[in-house]
Amino acid sequence: MIIVMKHKATQDDILQVASEVTRAGLMANVSEGAEITVIGVIGDKSRLNSDAINSLPCVDKIVSVTESYKLANKKFHPDPSVIEMSNCKIGGKELVVMAGPCAIESKEQLFESADAAKAGGAAILRGGAYKPRTSPYSFQGLEEEGLKFMQEAKARTGLSVVCEVTSIQAVNTAANYVDMLQIGARNMQNFELLKAAGKTKIPVLLKRGLCATIEEWLNAAEYIMSEGNPNVVLCERGIRTFETSTRNTLDISAIPVIKAKSHLPIIVDPSHASGKKEYIASLSKAAIAAGADGLMIEVHPNPKIALSDGPQSLNPEEFKVLMEELKIIASACNRTL
């Protein structure tokens, strides 16, 4: 349930109600918005004297929340969340682009990619140090060595850095090097991994699972947030359907649905959605027009020799051209890039 406070409620009033909730052994999540303040109640609501709270002069009403996800719910947090990185904010007026190679292959390759991302206008460098591959014989990543390269690339360019983690050990290691942890599609419901990422308090990029519903996706975010980490960014990267023309099927409708159901920012990964670089520009423009807060685009200095996902990677010049085109769409949507 959520307790909606009256507009004239004071900080003492809010504290009083929150204290009543915690005294009942429940968790009180206070969200102070521009217009109203709501207190989300998490736990067994039967332990709370709802009638007594509802009768308080500072309380406007009590609203039942039927969805299983609470902290990620827009009802608990009416205003959009903005996730702060070292050099940008995700979820505000400015669109944020993450760019870089699927896999970190060498220091030189990562530095070239970082320079290209920076030159094109990206704010965040993405790179895979841990690679969950379909085949056990495919390149699995450089692991901690790759993370060290990312740290050096950040110092070189000023870009924030994000890397996928595939195990609790990887979370603990990557937390020493990166600004954001990425939970990949295959691990969206790896609940122990989600909880470990939540314990770090580092921003988390949570990709939608291959066949996950939006409710399942938001419940995965809830696992991270329930550990005390509110800094979650959702990433729509396409879902598995019967269509074979693209690697996955980009669910554009997920953007407005998430905006209606949750306060969390959402970005789109057109590279994994399409699997083919010739479709990336169109999907990127559609994502921004639909209200996405940013994009994740694979960029490689020489996609033809990439060890992972070369066919869906842009080269530096192609990325630069796309970013210039996206500025027009962003402006039309009253956003900046």
Domains within the chain, CATH numbers bracketed = 2-63 (3.30.70.1140), 83-332 (3.20.20.70)
The helix (H) or strand (E) run that includes residue 13 is helix 11-23
| DSSP structural state of residue 120 | H
Q: d(Cα 260, Cα 283) in Å, to the nearest integer? A: 21
Which stretches in the chain have pLDDT values below 70?
132-135, 137-140
Q: d(Cα 133, Cα 156) in Å, to the nearest integer? A: 29
| DSSP structural state of residue 53 | H
Q: d(Cα 244, Cα 108) in Å, to the nearest integer? A: 35
Selection from 285, 277, 135, 262 nearest residue 208 by Cα: 262
Q: Do 272 and 312 meet the contact criterion of CB atoms below 8 Å apart?
A: yes
Q: d(Cα 112, Cα 301) in Å, to the nearest integer? A: 6
| DSSP structural state of residue 132 | -
pTM of the model: 0.93
Pairing of strands 266-268, 232-236: parallel
Provide the phi-psi class of 156: left if phi over 0, else alpha when psi is between -120 and 50, else beta.
Answer: alpha
Q: How far is CA 220 from the centre of its chain?
A: 12
Q: How far is CA 320 from the centre of its chain?
A: 24
Give the burial class of 38: count Cβ atoms within 10 A of its Cβ; 0-12 exposed, 13-18 middle, 19 or more buried.
buried
For position 324, what pLDDT does the model report?
97
